[in-house]
Amino acid sequence: MSDFPWQSAFEIRDQVAGGSASAIEVTRAYLARAEALNPKLSCFLTIDHEGALAAAAQVDRARDAGEDLGPLAGVPIALKDNLCTRGVRTTCASQILGEYIPPYDAHVVEALRASGAVILGKTNLDEFAMGSSNENSSFANVHNPWALDRAPGGSSGGSACAAAAGLAPLALGSDTGGSVRQPAAFCGITAIKPTYGRVSRYGLVAFASSLDQIGPMARSVREASQLLQVIAGHDRRDATSADRQTGQYVAACDRGVKGLRVGVVRDLLDGLQDADVRAGVEAALSALEKEGATLVDVSLPHAKHAVSVYYLIATAEASSNLARFDGIRYGLRVPGEDLTETYTKTRAQGFGPEVRRRIMLGTYALSAGYYDAFYLKAQRVRTLIRRDYDTAFESCDVVCTPTTPTPAFALGEKTSNPLDMYLADIFTLPPSLAGLAAISTPCGLSASGLPIGLQLVAPPFEEEVLCSAGQVVEGGCGLVGSRPAALD
Amino acid sequence: MADAKITFEQVLHVAKLARLTLSDEEARQMQEQLDAILGYMEGLDELDVSDVPPTFHSIPMDAPMRPDVPERCSDRSEILEQAPESQSGGFAVPLVLEVE
């Protein structure tokens, strides 16, 4: 195995298919690395030693029998622990799910198994995917592999950390308001938030159903594109799954950006406080221009309201979705005098502070007398945010912003002020509210050596253009080949 | 939304609606945090959106009909294995009705 643990998914598959390495050998090596580094990083909640070796053995048997191998044959992958895996505990990093073992696989998990991927285990997250730093996990804080005292981002922080630290070449996360893009930016990797409806959520534990999407994460744009190719497509078990042709995402990586119109949200860029982030975005824009893209000024006048709109809509939907956790059918039960007390005790003990806060906010926004003033108003402003993009896409093909206002903040820095934490999501929320496709890919390092993420946003179902543009940014100012310093 | 800020009593009422029990200390902290968040959200008041339709679904989608065909679902015993308590092939819950 050459270049372990930094080989790409493509290299691993070639080695396994060509016989220069067995899937078992690859899997053993990654399992050993995960087991050695997890005490330091806490990115895995469960390492599925047995399941991973069984999947690898199956790939090796198929190869020996001369069968066709899937596009991810023998490639290790880490899954966010809100994706249901048959027979492997799925916790959502919450006490309320206890030792819940799903009796079924999520759609994306089925797709991965069919592609020959080897699932190493389940990754840490903010409880029920609610958070931007992974500090809302009820198990442990994940550490950023570039600086261990920094947050890995959230909520897919475990997945981002695992890919960035070379514990797996690929990972899956879920994104409701930035939960694959923001940790990807903090950890120096690439993540794609597909268009709402592009990837089936069957088997993803629901947080906010009008926003949730599952997204690929990897150290390169091309690998993330390959993973998107494997998971995208229609599935009738998710009523919001779009019945339309998927793209050629890997092929799109080689199309270049000649003639591409890149929308620059100038007032927003000029308003950035962090000089390193501004410099990273400028470097990415130069790289795109050098390869033949043209820059156009666009504006998103209502984007500044995205934090209010998102934290009303997402919490309202969450309060409804999380009503199912009542201690009756699965997970934790704290017995009370009667049924109602059983519910309230179970939920009070089973949910952590941030989840309780969001359920409260959402319940309030939906409650009698406040529905029109909060929830309905937020849905109306959401229309204005969507219209901003409609207007922008009349003059450009992708909209470019940073992924986050700053590089990774310190662990503990924002935990005492929930609003402060929410405000850091300002760039990733608008495309989520509009249901658009988005990518975050690295565009340099800060002066203190922390990754900076660039976000590109495309119209619905146009993920291909994100792969093309992301590849150019990666070639111009990306971090492929850079290794997280804190692991040395 | 000028009167949006939340009172201690409202916090307790909402907690009841949400089936959550909060200690007095937790409720006080919750009130403080929700108050700050709702205060920030008053920023939406600068927009007049009375004529703007709401967006409940970001991507237009219809709900197509499908044939209603019975299919195998998960095995009952596998599902009940995950229940905190089960009995006679069903979920066991605390007594809801007194039966004579």
Going from the N-terminus, what domains does chain A have, and what CATH number goes with each? 9-255+463-476 (3.90.1300.10)
B94 inside domain: no
Chain B contacts in chain A segment 179-208 (CB below 8 A): 195-197
Task: Give the pLDDT score at B66.
Answer: 82
Choose, from A22, A42, A80, A156, the residue flagged as catalytic.
Answer: A80
Give the whole-angstrom CA distance, residue A329 versus residue A97.
Answer: 10
Active site residue A155: yes
Domain ranges, residue B21 = 8-46
CB within 8 Å: A356 and B33: no
Task: Give the pLDDT score at B100.
Answer: 67
- What share of chain B has pLDDT > 90, as a percent? 70
B78 inside domain: no
The pLDDT tens digits for A96-119 are 998 999 999 999 999 999 999 999
- What share of chain A has pLDDT > 70, as a percent? 100
Whether the per-residue pLDDT at A353 is higher than 80: the answer is: yes
- How many angstroms separate the most distant Cα atoms in chain A? 70
Whether the per-residue pLDDT at B21 is higher than 50: the answer is: yes
Count other C-beta atoms under 10 Å from residue A239's C-beta: 15
Confirm or reject contact between A58 and chain B (CB < 8 A): no
B93 inside domain: no
CB within 8 Å: A418 and B33: yes
Give the whole-angstrom CA distance, residue B85 versus residue A327.
Answer: 9
Q: Do β-strands A294-298 and A261-265 pair in parallel, antiparallel, or remain unpaired?
A: parallel
Residue in A240, A327, A418 nearest the CB of B84: A327
User: What residue of B is the nearest CA neighbor of A198?
Assistant: B59
CB within 8 Å: B75 and A103: yes
User: What residue of B is the nearest CA neighbor of A342?
Assistant: B94
Cis check for the bond before B54: say yes or no (omega within 30 of 0): no
What 3-state class would DSSP assign to B36? helix
B26 inside domain: yes
Task: Give the pLDDT score at A368.
Answer: 85
pLDDT confidence tier of residue B74, bands split at 50, 70 and 90: confident
Closest CA of chain A from B74, distance in Å? 7
Average of per-residue pLDDT across A277-286:
97
B20 inside domain: yes
Which of B19, B26, B34, B80 would best serve as a mutation to test chain A binding (most A beta carbons within 10 A)? Answer: B19
For A276, A278, A407, A420, the CA distances from A273, given in Å and listed in that order, are 9, 8, 12, 15
Task: Give the pLDDT score at B51.
Answer: 96
Whether the per-residue pLDDT at A401 is higher than 60: the answer is: yes
Task: Give the pLDDT score at A481.
Answer: 84
B95 inside domain: no
pLDDT confidence tier of residue B2, bands split at 50, 70 and 90: very low
Whether the per-residue pLDDT at A74 is higher than 80: the answer is: yes
CB within 8 Å: B74 and A104: yes
Comparing A170 with B96, the larger pLDDT belongs to A170
Choose, from A8, A133, A137, A155, the residue flagged as catalytic.
Answer: A155
Confirm or reject contact between A374 and chain B (CB < 8 A): yes
Confirm or reject contact between B72 and chain A (CB < 8 A): no
CB half-sphere exposure, A145, CA atoms < 13 A: 28
pLDDT confidence tier of residue B4, bands split at 50, 70 and 90: very low
- What share of chain A has pLDDT > 90, as a percent? 94
Total domains in the fold of chain B: 1
Lowest mean pLDDT of A44-53, A395-404, B64-73, name the range.
B64-73
- Say which CATH number the domain at B26 has: 1.10.20.60
- The torsion angles phi and psi of A37, rounded to 5 degrees, stand at -95, -20
b or e along B1-15 (b: 16 or more beta carbons within 10 Å of the residue's beta carbon)?
eeebebeeeebeebb
Task: Give the pLDDT score at A47.
Answer: 98
Chain A contacts in chain B segment 29-68 (CB below 8 A): 30, 33-34, 36-37, 40-41, 43-44, 47, 49, 52-59, 61, 63-64, 66
A1 token code pair: 């195995």
The pLDDT tens digits for A235-251 are 999 999 999 999 999 99
Question: Which chain A residues are closer than 8 Å to B11 by Cβ?
Answer: 360
Cis check for the bond before A155: say yes or no (omega within 30 of 0): yes
Closest CA of chain B from A382, distance in Å? 6
CB within 8 Å: A332 and B84: yes
Confirm or reject contact between B87 and chain A (CB < 8 A): no
The pLDDT tens digits for B40-65 are 999 999 999 999 999 998 888 777 78
Whether the per-residue pLDDT at B17 is higher than 50: the answer is: yes
CB within 8 Å: B44 and A100: no
Whether the per-residue pLDDT at B37 is higher than 50: the answer is: yes
